[in-house]
A and B are shown apart, each in its own frame.
Chain A
Amino acid sequence: MVKVIVNGVEVEVPSNATVLDAAEKAGFKIPTLCHLEGIFDEATCRICVVDIGGRLFPSCRYPVSEGLKVTTESDAIRKYRRDLINLLFATHKIKCWSCVRKGGACTLLSLAKDYGVEAPVVCSECMFFGIDCLVAKGQPCLGPLTIAGCDAECTKNGMPCIGCRGPITSAEVWKSAIEFYDDKVKKDELLSKIKLFWNKYMDMISRYVEVKR
């Protein structure tokens, strides 16, 4: 057994434990993505980075040693984790509306919520809270095009999204969202909703809506 100090809390853990185990025992939650106990410990996602002696190390891989001092949370660490989540979304095909992970099963989304990352669309919120899709019911909901972060207050109450948080800028997402709307929602209804809040983005929007439909 060795003694480890996590955020000032002293815990005793077996000598073959990792910093992640120690933090858990001390009652601090460190986010993980790629780590799977006993299956995968290559530390590739880097989301579990902690500060050890002024340098960042992934806690899922770092072995404990006697008297090791670890900081699991700080403004800087939060910033790096936020950047990492942003990088994940940069290559992620954000098609939350057709994803199978419903009701908070997506770790990435809950992390994005925790760290205030504004990359996903409102559909992710519906998935998170397990709300039935309004677009599938034929309603002109702007969820697939709007930046998430509103906790789905409208759709929770059965109202289609009006896009008050602004449109997502990724062209990829726009393309797949328009494909998703196809045949489900009337074009005129959709356009009039878009005009309501997003008039200044009409140039960009017409590129997708006119051409595709």
Chain B
Amino acid sequence: MSLKIDEKTRKIIYGPKGFRIRIPIASCSLAAGVNSVRDAVVNAIESLGVEAEIYRVGCMGQCFIDPWIEIAKEGLPPAIYGNVDPNNASKIKEIIQNYVNGDLSEAMAVRFKVDGVKSPQELTELDPWKYQVRFVSRNCGLIDPESIEDYIATGGYSGLKRALEMKREEVIEEIKRSKLRGRGGAGFPTWLKWNLCYQQKSDVKYVICNGDEGDPGAFMNRLLSESDPHRVVEGLIIAGYAVGATNGVIFVRAEKPLMAERLAKAVQQAREKGFLGKNILGTDFNFDIVTYRSAGAFVCGEETALIAAIEGRSRSRQRPPYPAVKGLWGKPTILNNVETLAHVATIFQFGVEEFLKYGTERTGGTKMFCVTGSVKRTGVYEVPIGTTIRRLIYDLAGGAKEGKNIKAVQAGGPSGGCIPVELFDVQLDFETLQQYGAIMGSGGLVVIDDSMCMVDVAHFFTGFTLAESCGKCLPCRVGVKLLNQILGKIKEGEGKIEDLETLQEIGESIMKTSLCALGGTAPNPVISTLKYFKHEYLEHIERKHCPAKVCQKLVTYVINPGICNGCGTCLRSCPAGAIEGKPRDAHKIIAEKCLRCGQCMIVCPAGAVGKV
């Protein structure tokens, strides 16, 4: 974590009173019960009589320590306490009391060490932080997301000032030099898009911030906007200036109310401070932003569908003309992801050189990745582009859960591909992932362990894209349905060997002929699993057997007579009456009657029911 602890940051950490208790208020921590923690802290402060200030912050991105609190008192190192029990108020009081007395032994880590105080290791020495480069997420969990003053104190809006002093071409040139590429999925060079829009002659131009974030398993945009919304707003204003736009739109999903609220508040505050409106910072640049809450659909990840969603109905349209030429209401429009815009703001605050320290030859900077699924430490990790999958999953996220083995990672959400564990040394960048049949997508990595069936995974993801397809073009509407049906057939043990060829052929045709990127990438999970996990498909088809014992129709439930104590619980719960046996004797499942619902396995108190 490249957080320089200078005087300014110090002031923010300890606050004006010299004693600050940070409590994260973000969707994730709220779900973990941070409200009760907050109440407990308030009560503890009162009863202990300490002069502490409760300070609301965003989320750090490390979901596995939620809910956490950070206590910082002048003279002591700021200590972070992870996994605080929300229902144990006396424990929280004890923690605060011990901290005030100088006993930091319960803390998970400290932000920095202070001479003469015995404290646990620093945050940056912990595994989940060690390899991170917190460039764009530097303020996450550090400042109050609803305070523009705190953002300005960390150098906020200095990037906008710098940009406004430059000519528009120079701003675009600066972004070109930074090798920034769109963080939303396709990795299109940001400057190219801006330049195309800048060259259009039009009285009205739009810039849109895409905060729709529809991938299951991706939440970095939500985290960024909830923890540091002003960074996004600043980036959008800079983008607006660069292309000569007059209006900005922040497109947020209505399902993410806190994110929408914080962004709207940030826009309001920026307007009050004069960063939005007429003659921004004394220049002749006029710009304003509205936040738009959409009902949200996965297809809105596609630019043209997002524009159509604002206009009325979210359906993609054929490109060209590109949105940069003819977009929202027929005017030149650029769309950038939340993370891209946050990067723009940070680049202008800290300089291109700082940004170019990281990344690969073709792509500069860092990227936030969400690691979910079968890992020990779920969370958002910001690493330089070009980091290997192994580092991200094993070193940062802690590897597989107890007793499981990782077999693949699904990179890029439902339209990405599965990369098997043998290829975990490949770099995470746009070109390399594409080469292996996956996409970077928004950066969601779902880790798959050996208790999951790859046919089932492919079936699930095609089912998702099928439900989210707008239904406009033929290959996506019918083709994906066909893929889903064939996979369903294989899952039920009715697959034929020719089906694999059909899957491959239809998949390729869909990718080639679809109207937008949703259809163009929808067969990725099927094609990549066919490539790397063909043996699992063959097992399903030839031996009518699911190696991971997931596909309901292909598993057989048996009772282990050595463990069964004959309690009769399974017998009573079986909906098909397929279990027989006398009390206190080992029971038996009649295979012909069994519906394979798995109810007996759930209810068995002795754990005697197993799958074969």
Contact = CB atoms under 8 A, between A and B. Distances in A.
Interface of A: 42-46, 49, 56-58, 61-63, 79-80, 83-84, 87-88, 90-91
Interface in B295-334: 317-318, 320-321
B475 interface: yes
A59 to B, nearest CB: 11
A42 B318 contact: yes
Nearest to B479: A87
Interface of B: 317-318, 320-321, 472-475, 478-479, 482, 505-506, 509, 512-515
Contact of B482 (A62, A80, A87): A87
6 contacts: A42-B472, A46-B474, A58-B515, A83-B513, A84-B513, A88-B474
A56 B478 contact: no
A45 B474 contact: yes
A42 B509 contact: no
A145 B506 CA distance: 25
A147 B514 CA distance: 28
A61 B318 contact: yes
A80 B508 CA distance: 9
Nearest to A45: B474
B513 A80 contact: yes
A91 B478 CA distance: 7
A49 B513 contact: yes
A56 B513 contact: yes
B442 to A, nearest CB: 23
Which 9 pairs, one residue from A and one from B, show the smallest C-beta to C-beta distance?
Answer: A83-B509, A87-B478, A43-B318, A61-B318, A46-B513, A44-B473, A56-B512, A80-B513, A44-B472
Contact of B475 (A42, A62, A63, A87): A87
Contacts of A61: 318
Contacts of B479: 87
Nearest to B473: A44
A61 to B, nearest CB: 5
A84 B318 contact: no
Contacts of A58: 318, 515
Contacts of B317: 42
A77 to B, nearest CB: 9
A87 B318 contact: no
B29 to A, nearest CB: 45
A87 B474 contact: yes
Contacts of B513: 46, 49, 56, 80, 83-84
Q: Which residue among A46, A61, A79, A91 has the maximum number of chain B CB atoms within 10 Å of its CB? A: A46
Given A62-B320, A83-B505, A46 B473 contact: yes
Contacts of A91: 478
Contacts of A46: 473-475, 513-515
B512 A43 contact: no
A113 B478 CA distance: 21
Contacts of B475: 46, 84, 87
A66 B321 CA distance: 16
A80 B512 contact: yes
Contacts of A44: 472-474, 515
B515 A83 contact: no
Nearest to A92: B478
A58 B479 CA distance: 17
A54 to B, nearest CB: 11
A63 B509 contact: no
Contacts of B506: 83, 87
Contacts of B482: 87, 90
A84 B320 contact: no
A163 to B, nearest CB: 23
Nearest to B519: A46
B548 to A, nearest CB: 30
Given A46-B514, A84-B475, A88-B474, 16 more contacts: A43-B318, A43-B515, A44-B473, A45-B473, A46-B473, A49-B513, A58-B318, A61-B318, A63-B320, A80-B512, A84-B513, A87-B474, A87-B475, A87-B479, A87-B482, A87-B506
Contacts of B472: 42, 44
A56 B512 CA distance: 7
A90 B515 contact: no
Nearest to B315: A42
Contacts of A49: 512-513
A43 B320 CA distance: 12
Given A61-B318, A62-B320, A83-B505, A43 B473 contact: yes
Nearest to B321: A63
Contacts of B320: 62-63
Contacts of A84: 474-475, 509, 513
A49 B473 CA distance: 12
Name the residue in A44, A45, A63, A91 with the highest tally of chain B Cβ atoms < 10 Å from its Cβ.
Answer: A44
A46 B318 CA distance: 10
B212 to A, nearest CB: 22
Contacts of A80: 509, 512-513
A61 B514 CA distance: 14
Contacts of B509: 79-80, 83-84, 87
Q: Which of B317, B478, B506, B514 has the most chain A CB atoms closer than 10 A to its own CB?
A: B478
A105 to B, nearest CB: 21
A97 to B, nearest CB: 24
A57 B516 CA distance: 11
B473 to A, nearest CB: 5
Contacts of A90: 478, 482
A61 B321 CA distance: 10
